[in-house]
A and B are shown apart, each in its own frame.
Chain A
């Protein structure tokens, strides 16, 4: 008990010492007038204020716009560097790199075939509501992605081709589209979250799936339930990344209302750009494997019904669940019985 008390006393003493130190080192400008202030003019020196405030210089204004009280914010130069250099390199490497990887993958691995060939029997993978949620999000994402890339790279890539006036007119419309499509996009992400979260809880199967290279490298097909490890990555990236893009985007659409500081607005803008560019790179891979990269994959989101052999190869455990649970495969008229072929 006494030991505890000495500890508390020590902590209080340390805190008091810290306070005294802070008071001693604080510039005269924040001390009460009674204190011995050094010569007043030097206390208003810009560099001293920068050093003390470690950033922007804030004052008081008599006009209604109180944001104008921020006299100087040198970190605007950091934002300039971010937008001119960091964002462009990051986006270029992420998106360009992904395109190179996908092209190389296609050249080396080729299209991932259904090894047993199409069976002619189909099984329902995504119902109407699920496909609606997917395509709502997807179509919004494509327009948002293009109009967003226009803000990041249009000046370098499109402006020289289109000319200043045409590019400005297109960018004006692109901005409007970008603002308004944020709402259906957010709705789509929320819908997908509700519909698919139960099938996307990570488990031991995902570890095995990744250990086997997901069947992309080599030809083994690690068994998985409704969603394999890779699909779960896409799901969580979409929900968390898409959610972050939506949140930062709404902050930017209502400037200084949700987030009220300059630093906050700059951070939201930076995060919005970086996460979006990484998401575009990821979704490029998703689009590839869902279309030209894999035989039979597109049908899942196209008609909603996939070939049974495709399902067995890629989602064997899920097929077992559905078959035993009686959710049932639809048998086209005239198809032979299961096992007969």
Chain B
């Protein structure tokens, strides 16, 4: 099958003459070996508490022909659904296209979990009933609204590797380079080259849902 990534990845630069990157994740599910090292590295790098997974590996068609594993976290959507439904407007998108949120403004209502197509928002369980604490999610290793690489930022949001000129730890240490992080155009091109060379590919998982507005732009 002639598979190329969704057009979503190819048009990012066309929207404007911005020199900033449009950061995205792309999981090449034909390379992912479900080692879960990305999950572990994320937890370690950001000191994510027990019970919260900013990243996870999902295996589809488990034990059947066509089994694939996909590493999934926040996709940092265009027109992010979480941001749209947030009652306190606690989300913001950085110049790199990374979707971040303020834990000072989050009230733990849980709406973003219902809106998120990728199950990214996580909540520490708190107090009575299903009461949720402040939402936690993948920050693309880009911290939060606090000043870069301060203890306050680290305590709330974890590492800010992007401010240090590094990419997210999950993709950086992926042993098979299945998980790609970086500017959407560049990683889409890397993936397209792989697909062309090996002759198959199962697509850029989630891109259609995450960046659909960009396909027309």
Residue B57 interfacial (CB < 8 Å): yes
Identify which of A33, A68, A172 contacts B56 (C-beta below 8 A). Answer: A68
CB of A65 within 8 A of CB of B131, answer: no
Q: How far is the CA of A60 from the CA of B1 in the complex (A)?
A: 25
List CB contacts (< 8 Å) of A52-110 with chain B: 57-65, 67-77, 79-80, 83-84
A205 within 8 A of B: no
Contacts of A266 in B (CB 8 A): 114
Decide if B70 is an interface residue (CB 8 Å cutoff).
yes
Are the C-beta atoms of A159 and B89 separated by less than 8 Å? yes
Q: Is A171 a contact of B107 with CB atoms below 8 Å? A: yes
Whether B68 contacts A44 by the Cβ 8 Å rule is: yes
Q: How far is the CA of A164 from the CA of B68 in the complex (A)?
A: 43
Known contacts A76-B81, A80-B85, A269 near B53 by CB under 8 Å: no
Per-position binary interface string of chain B over residues 122-136, scored 1 when its CB falls under 8 Å from any chain A CB and 0 otherwise: 000000111100000
CA of A256 to CA of B125, assembled, Å: 13
Q: Are B58 and A60 interface neighbours, CB within 8 A?
A: yes
Is there a chain A Cβ closer than 8 Å to B160's Cβ? no
Across the interface, name the chain A residue whose C-beta is closest to B122. A65
* A43 within 8 Å of B (CB atoms): yes
B51: chain A residues at CB < 8 Å are: 64-65
Chain B residues within 8 Å of A67, by CB: 119
Q: Provide the main secondary structure of the chain B interface.
A: loop
Give the residue of B85, B109, B209 whose beta carbon is less than 8 angstroms from that of A175: B109
A43 and B66 contacting across the interface, CB-CB below 8 Å: yes
The complex places the Cα of A256 from the Cα of B123 at a distance, in Å, of 13
Identify which of B108, B113, B117, B131 contacts A77 (C-beta below 8 A).
Answer: B117
A-B CB contact pairs (8 Å), 26 listed? A37-B65, A41-B3, A44-B61, A44-B68, A47-B208, A58-B60, A59-B62, A61-B56, A63-B53, A65-B53, A71-B58, A71-B60, A71-B205, A72-B72, A76-B209, A77-B81, A77-B115, A84-B85, A151-B87, A155-B86, A155-B89, A159-B89, A179-B128, A254-B129, A255-B110, A265-B114
| Binary CB contact string for chain A from 244 to 287 against chain B (1 if under 8 A, 0 otherwise) | 00000000111111000010011001000000000000000000
**B29 proximity list for chain A (CB < 8 A):** 44
Interface, chain B (partner A; CB < 8 A): 1, 3, 29-30, 36, 39, 51, 53, 56-62, 64-68, 70, 72, 81, 84-90, 102, 104-111, 113-119, 128-131, 200-203, 205-206, 208-209, 212
In the assembled complex, the Cα of A74 lies from the Cα of B210 at a distance in Å of: 9
Cβ A76 vs Cβ B115 within 8 A: yes
The answer to whether A46 touches B57 (Cβ under 8 A) is no
Are B88 and A167 in contact, CB atoms less than 8 angstroms apart? yes
- Taking a contact as CB atoms under 8 Å apart, the answer to whether A41 and B30 are in contact is yes
**Cα–Cα distance between A266 and B117 once the two chains are bound (Å):** 12
Q: How far is the CA of A39 from the CA of B117 in the complex (A)?
A: 28
What's the nearest-Cβ distance from chain B to residue A246, in Å?
14
Classify the secondary structure of A's interface with B.
Answer: helix
> A33 touching B107 by the CB < 8 A rule?
no
**Chain A hits for B88, CB < 8 A:** 154-155, 159, 164, 167-168, 171
Does the CB pair B1–A269 fall under 8 Å?
A: no
CB distance from A65 to the nearest CB of B (A): 6
CB-defined contacts of A175 to chain B, threshold 8 Å: 107-109
B89/A46 in contact, CB under 8 A = no
* A165 cross-chain contacts in B, Cβ below 8 A: 104-105
Query: Nearest Cβ in chain A — how far from B136, in angstroms?
Result: 13
Known interface pairs A65-B53, A84-B84; A74-B117 also in contact (CB < 8 Å): yes
Which residues of B sit under 8 angstroms from A167, Cβ to Cβ?
A: 88
CB-based nearest A residue for B129: A253
B87–A46 touching, CB < 8 Å: no
Kindly list the 5 A-B residue pairs having the minimum CB-CB distance in the complex, ordered from nearest. Answer: A43-B66, A80-B81, A59-B58, A76-B117, A59-B60
CB nearest to B117 among chain A residues: A76
